[in-house]
Structure 1
């Protein structure tokens, strides 16, 4: 939720910077699941002045969300346990950035070993 809040506040703060009236972020709940939310929306009541403002408002959300994502990912990889791969459990594909950070923090893993990340690393 914190990453999503940072993302939406990035958009919101840029709308304020350019004088575009907008609402605060409204989170859309996901009923009856552990996921938490479907996302969030920000209502805008005025026009965006130019293309530069449109670009800045659009890009500021992903960049603001990237900061806590990288922090959580690095902490999660640092706290991850290296163990023998048993073939059981929940396995996801690894993004390239995750592989690079894991190699920088833990070095190359021996054959048959896996990183077991906790919830913070999973959130990142």
Structure 2
């Protein structure tokens, strides 16, 4: 199968965009998390999961035949991990109010991901 110019341009644009997203993520990493190892693991893991899911979503958009719904679930789980790390760090550094706010966000992303996974499962079962 030969790639036409449109496919080549899509791959180049996607690669540049994904590289830019990775650069922005690495530039914006909160250095406080890296000082506290037990908080940095879910934070960095959330970044990796979100990055992979962005890659999957973009691939599903570029290649029309691929279903990208699972990547939306992973994207929500990646942000859940971010919120989990922030809530745990806030518990020990900033106080209870910030902890509660991030913990609430964490459960929001978890509910979103689970609901989307259930909808995808029902869609697969019914079709």
**Which structure shows the bigger proportion of residues in strand conformation?**
1
Q: Which of the pair has more CA radius of gyration?
A: 1
Question: Is the helix fraction higher in 1 or 2?
Answer: 2
Q: TM-score, normalised by structure 2?
A: 0.31
Q: Which has the higher contact order (CA 8 A, sep 6+)?
A: 1
